[in-house]
Amino acid sequence: MTMSDNRFGDPRIPAETITNQSHLFHLGAMAPLTFDGGNLRQASEDNFPILAGQQASAALVTLQPGAIREPHWHPSAWEINVVTAGTATWTVLDPQGNTQDFEARTGDLVFAPQGSLHYFENRGSEDLQVVIVFNASTAEGKDDIGIGAALTKLPARVLGAVFGVDAKTFDGFKKIDNSLTILRP
């Protein structure tokens, strides 16, 4: 077996051979997914083939002033966030119930562990930009569980019991099927 044969059996080494621009992805140039409050561009195995099987993806998130990245968690990925413009107000809640609230500014790095509920928002007056790197090859939305979808999948009687209120309190809540990703209050 030659050295080049080894690379096809090791999942840490891309099985794809080097081709013209196979290792370059123009993340900032791609058409964004647009939401009320901002947008998201992502490189994942769906649109950047070299990431297939690599347990890696990246997103560029822009939040307009007042916008929120929906509280969510990733059951099978952690994420590293780099604030490239603006200031983000963060909350991270770990599986043991420990909470940390803080501000992250341009140049700061934020780590959200796998399984930890987290979100950030733009309370500033300028757009907030965050580059996020995940240890999962799937696109955002396929590997996250948003708080809205999670709560609206539960019966009103269960939510009423959890929050100590009448179940009817939840009758008028909007049903959410997928992660909202970016929203406005």
Element (H, E) at 163: helix 156-163
Report pLDDT for 95.
Answer: 85
Residue 141, by phi and psi: left (phi above 0), alpha (psi -120 to 50) or beta?
Answer: left
List per-residue pLDDT tens for the chain, 185 residues long.
444 444 455 656 555 555 665 889 999 999 999 999 999 999 998 999 888 888 999 999 999 999 999 999 999 899 999 999 999 999 999 888 899 999 999 999 999 999 999 999 999 999 999 999 999 887 776 778 999 999 989 999 999 999 999 999 998 888 888 888 999 98
pTM score, whole prediction: 0.84
User: Strand runs (DSSP E) across 86-159, as ranges?
Assistant: 87-93, 99-105, 109-112, 117-121, 128-134, 145-146
- Distances in Å between the Cα of 47 and the Cα atoms of 31, 39, 41, 58, 63 are 12, 17, 11, 11, 23
Report pLDDT for 19.
Answer: 61
- Euclidean distance between CA atoms 86 and 81, whole angstroms: 13
Report pLDDT for 171.
Answer: 87
- Residue 164, both tokens: 């100590």
- Distances in Å between the Cα of 99 and the Cα atoms of 65, 91, 120, 151 are 24, 7, 13, 20
Go through the domains of the chain in sequence order and give each one's CATH number: 32-143 (2.60.120.10)
Report pLDDT for 80.
Answer: 97
- Pair type for strands 145-146 and 87-93: unpaired
